[in-house]
Amino acid sequence: MNSGDVLRTETKVIDNDKFECTIFPGLQGLRLKGRLLKFIGPGIGKAFKGVSFEKGKSVLDNDIDLSVVGQAIEGLVEQLDNESVIQLILDLLSFTRMNGQSIDKNIINMKFAGEYTKLYKAIFFVIDANRFFGKWSIGEVFDRIEIPATPNTPTQSTDR
């Protein structure tokens, strides 16, 4: 990169927290996109079986059978090992800040405990900011599913 080159940063508020994502340098982004495609690729074909396509309509404007999409995600998750998934998540969030703090293992452990929907939204924001799938916005799909924010209602804990 030339000294005048600056990587673009995008900002989004997710469930009342400010996220700032700096896009990945070219080669790092390509590596992550490849890992991401290996991660989700097998389930994409199955997931699209849940979409009723109509000519002239965008994928997002068609009827989506979430039960089929859910089955595709289940199958995908069953074939993955936890450490690979965790490392991919850490790598995807490595150029992202939440309320001014870099997101690392400690932030994920403390700020996303019981807030997994927020974590998923942050990951989708990073994927969209980096344009990994061009005009196909995963965040837009996720927003259309309308998953509510994690409630801030205290619950009883059985911590020991």
Could you report the per-residue pLDDT of 107-152, keeping only the tens digit for each? 999 999 999 889 988 998 998 899 887 765 555 555 554 444 555 5
Measured CA to CA, the distance from residue 87 to residue 30 in angstroms comes to 16
Model's pTM, two decimal places? 0.67
Asked if 76 and 40 count as a contact pair (C-beta separation under 8 A), the reply is yes
What gap in Å lies between CA 136 and CA 37, rounded to an integer?
14
Q: How far apart are CA 141 and CA 64, in angstroms?
A: 10
Q: What is the pLDDT of residue 49?
A: 58
Tens digit of pLDDT for each residue in 57-105? Answer: 544 555 555 555 566 666 666 666 788 888 999 999 999 999 999 999 9
What's the pLDDT tens digit per position in 19-61?
999 999 999 999 998 888 877 766 665 555 555 555 665 445 5
